[in-house]
A and B are shown apart, each in its own frame.
Chain A
Amino acid sequence: MSLLGTLARMEAVRDGRAVPLATVRHRHLADRPMVLVPLAAAGEAGAPLAVMLGQDRESPVLLSLPQPLDRDRRFALLADLAAELLPWLEGYGDQVELLTKEVKDPATGEKTEQVRELCTDAPQLLVPGPAAVEFLGLLGRSTRFRRTAEDPDPGPYPAPARVPLLGRWLTQLRDRAQVPGSSLLLAMTDLLGRHWATGQSRLEDQHLGALLGWIAPPAGLTGAEAALRAETARDDRGQLLCPPAGPTTDPRFDSGLLAPAITRYDAARQLGDAVAAQAREADIAALLETVLRPTWERMWQGVDLLRALPAAAHLPERWEGDRWSYTSHRDRIAAGEPPQPVRDDAVTAARKLAQREREQTRLDIQEALDDPLAMAEHRLSGEAMAGVVVEVEPAYDTTGRTPKPRPLVTLRTDDRPHGDAGRELYRAGGPAAQKAELVSADPASGLVTVRLLNGMGRKKEPEPGSVPEPGEQVCFTLFELTARQSAPLPEPEDTPWTHGGPPAARAGTVPADPVEGA
């Protein structure tokens, strides 16, 4: 955590409620996001217990299992989930815009135009926390290799037809969620934690109820009291007033309410009493709804809080990256490609890593440009400076045939840029990209002089507006304002032997026994 973040947390302690950590919203928020709250069955990896989902706050869909160990029912639940999610996921694939790109044929050097489709919008899925993101990844991993009755060799336990496809989408969403700044699949605690600082630690912020307790404490309570109540308060049956946001349930819920209800259901089934079993099943669904509802309401409360923030300027640019990600996955499925492998080959892994690093850099830069509070982090660390121009002195570079404008700009600032004279600077928030160099910095008087190096046109006198005027607020950074492209990586087929050579046929990477233990 940075010093500014710590300071904000201390202010939150003093004020008894969360304080802003951003002046704008740094993540894309869809008009109608899909909210999904999963619950997992304890003890087994990737075993669903219930899911509450929907795009409409008033009418969530509840899918639940009366007996989480029953694998037929589990696949029925996943089939229901696929029926809910797939039409929504695939629906965004219909609206496309056509983009043309000039590509150079590597062999002939001839330029040809290539037309690519880009979906105009993409789905956005919101879950309570990072654990839910991981859980969706596990669901994806456990279902995407399943064989269905439609396969030529369905095996002993075929899965419902659309379940493996759902697994591929979930895998894709979870994979994309690893990319910094991406917004296809977002965790609410991360979202809120990016925009508000609470008076507790980041670890405790993982509790959605406690986090919201700090951000919007109920009347008469401080943030700390509201958070503590969310964490520990129990009703007279010993159940938490604020059930965990999942995917794991409270062990005391499991032992006190869920286990007896499941026992009753099993007993009714053993007696062959279909009516009673159905009633018991409805009981379990109602029980699960009581622990899902509070989280569902909190998810939407979080959406409301985030919507109240103005959107950052770079959101459409980053959302376009998400749209590309969505479009390419749509194309891979349409092309009949096999599911994502368990392990990426060397080149794909390197590409993903390079992409995540690049996106992290880009995100840091864009957040700093969009949000003075994010820029303040860089100013505090000496990576940027902002101030008011006090003097502009025309100066020229006369080494060439014609003199070029190289004006000296002096600004008053308390910032102390960490750089020697001659250090390259980049102007943030200017009319266009502009480079400068540090000439002198005098911390005692608070004056910093820089020399503008470009972006002033080709004439002897700078283009109007390209040089800041005295009295104008300006900001320079010591870091570049665009993320650098990494060196190109080879195609997977050209993987060098040092990295294991070209991967084996993709079908071979699917484990031979993905249905083991069924």
Chain B
Amino acid sequence: MNNVTPGPPGLTPSPLERRLAGLRGDAPQRSLDARALAALAANPGCGRRAVLDAAGVDKADLATRLGNPAPFGQSPFAISRGLGFERKVKADGCTVLLDLLRKELRLPEDSAPVEFAELVGDPKLPAGRVASARAALAAAAARPGVWTVLDQPLLRLEVAGSAAHLEPDLVVVRPDGRWTVVEIKSFPILDGGADAAKVGAAARQAAVYVLALRETAAELAGVEPSRDPYQEPGGLAGSPDSTALLVCPKDFGNQPAAAAVDVRKPMAVTRRQLDRLTGVEQLLDPLPPDAGFGQDRSDGQLTAAVGALAAVYSPDCLSACELGFHCRAEARCAGSVETLGRGVRGELGSFATIDRALAAAAAPPQGAAAPGQDDGDAESALRLSRAAALRAEALGGAALGGDR
């Protein structure tokens, strides 16, 4: 068993996988966790994040070594409450959970027996965990009419030519043979509604799990996995249900409540974004062949290697990506207008830096387009200088443009 290069045993890693593993150095591969997925959705165009995620580099550690540690963390109170709630949901052989599942998915009453799949739990054996989850799903498929609960199975998903490991809270195989992903979250469902951003993040997470389950199901059925989330293949390959169950505390208490979440749309979005990650080879081109992010690299080497990967910074990154503060520092150094907000670039036309935009604002408005400027530039420059004139007038001519 080899945990540095996960993948089906017996398969030699592809050159790309080797390259990505080389970037990671001796550090263990990071799985695509919720934050990585959120970042993926928030900023799909960022090449830097795409490469680092594909290589499974620990971005939090990288950010610390770059001198801009990520401000993320979880309070021990939140963790213990989350764990307590999870225990409560899974208590009594998941009776509460299965009742919620029946109710929310409108399943008929049944008295089918409930079985718990025996899974390899050793975190050092990812391949063994994946294999045991796969075997448990296959066994459950061969024996309909029974509830089978898989507690934290490890799933495998091809991302950018390498394997990403995913760990859903629960996967339940229903008596009718369908597989449902269950996500247990600790934010409340208050008066029947929950924080849309958090539900969205949970749905994205569940969508990736369903994608991974679909690949597993297709493999078990011996067919090609369907690329279209809106099309459900028949037979075993179609067992993963595209409706996930989100379990949260109800109102201000600790009682579980649940909601069925249709994740086909996030599945389609994530599928598309994961497919884009396969272009990671081109993204690797600007990186020098000897570059890497391993523990053995000096700070200077790290900064150079990270700097070689083009980032697409926007202030949203600060709450989604571990490298947000680093990219912000970089963007501020470059004077880029994106530091001021996401929509700013669109407003300023072709002016990519604050200095250039301010220079255009200070220029006399009646000036014709300077050589080398196109019409779009001239138009934005005109609007900027008009805005500057109006602002100066409103502030009593004191604030802007002493040179006017």
Binding site for B on A (CB under 8 A): 1, 3-4, 6-11, 13-14, 19-20, 23, 41-47, 68, 138, 141-142, 199-204, 224, 231-232, 249-252, 254-255, 259, 342-343, 371-373, 375-376, 379-380, 414, 511, 514, 516-518
Number of CB contacts from chain A to chain B under 8 A: 157
B252 in contact with A517 (CB, 8 Å):
yes
Tell which of A1, A43, A252, A372 has the most Cβ of chain B within 10 Å.
A43
B340 in contact with A23 (CB, 8 Å):
no
* Residues of A contacting B387 in the complex (Cβ-Cβ under 8 angstroms): 3-4, 7, 376, 380
Supply 4 further A-B pairs (C-beta < 8 A) apart from A45-B187, A232-B69: A6-B341, A44-B252, A511-B191, A516-B253
B190 in contact with A376 (CB, 8 Å):
no
B315 in contact with A6 (CB, 8 Å):
no
B50 to chain A, nearest CB (A): 23
* Residues of A contacting B388 in the complex (Cβ-Cβ under 8 angstroms): 7
B77 in contact with A259 (CB, 8 Å):
yes
* Residues of B contacting A7 in the complex (Cβ-Cβ under 8 angstroms): 357, 361, 384, 387-388, 391
B337 in contact with A10 (CB, 8 Å):
yes
A335 to chain B, nearest CB (A): 25
B343 in contact with A20 (CB, 8 Å):
no
- Given known pairs A232-B71, A255-B76, the reply for A142 and B252 (CB within 8 Å) is yes
B315 in contact with A204 (CB, 8 Å):
yes
| B36 at the binding interface (Cβ < 8 Å) | no
Residue of A41, A232, A375 touching B325 (CB-CB under 8 A): A232
What are the 7 tightest A-B residue pairs by CB atom distance, in nearest-first order? A517-B253, A42-B75, A43-B78, A251-B73, A43-B81, A201-B315, A372-B394
A375 in contact with B341 (CB, 8 Å):
no
A42 in contact with B255 (CB, 8 Å):
no
A373 in contact with B391 (CB, 8 Å):
yes
A3 in contact with B73 (CB, 8 Å):
no
A224 in contact with B383 (CB, 8 Å):
no
Residue of A203, A259, A342, A373 touching B394 (CB-CB under 8 A): A373
- Given known pairs A4-B387, A20-B395, A516-B255, the reply for A42 and B341 (CB within 8 Å) is no
Residue of A13, A23, A232, A250 touching B354 (CB-CB under 8 A): A13
| B344 at the binding interface (Cβ < 8 Å) | yes
CA distance A254 to B354 in the complex (A): 39
CA distance A65 to B325 in the complex (A): 34
| B5 at the binding interface (Cβ < 8 Å) | no
Tell which of A20, A44, A200, A516 has the most Cβ of chain B within 10 Å.
A44
CA distance A207 to B376 in the complex (A): 36
Sample (10) of A-B pairs whose CB atoms are under 8 Å apart: A4-B390, A10-B361, A14-B354, A20-B395, A42-B78, A202-B341, A343-B191, A514-B251, A516-B252, A517-B252
Residue of B254, B316, B395 touching A203 (CB-CB under 8 A): B316
A1 in contact with B391 (CB, 8 Å):
no
B348 in contact with A6 (CB, 8 Å):
yes
B390 in contact with A201 (CB, 8 Å):
no
* Residues of B contacting A516 in the complex (Cβ-Cβ under 8 angstroms): 250-253, 255
| B186 at the binding interface (Cβ < 8 Å) | yes
CA distance A9 to B191 in the complex (A): 40
A43 in contact with B186 (CB, 8 Å):
yes
| B282 at the binding interface (Cβ < 8 Å) | no
What residue of chain B has the Cβ atom nearest to residue A260's Cβ? B76
CA distance A197 to B197 in the complex (A): 27
Tell which of A3, A23, A42 has the most Cβ of chain B within 10 Å.
A3
Residue of B315, B316, B344, B358 touching A11 (CB-CB under 8 A): B358
B77 in contact with A201 (CB, 8 Å):
no
B315 in contact with A141 (CB, 8 Å):
no
CA distance A375 to B391 in the complex (A): 10
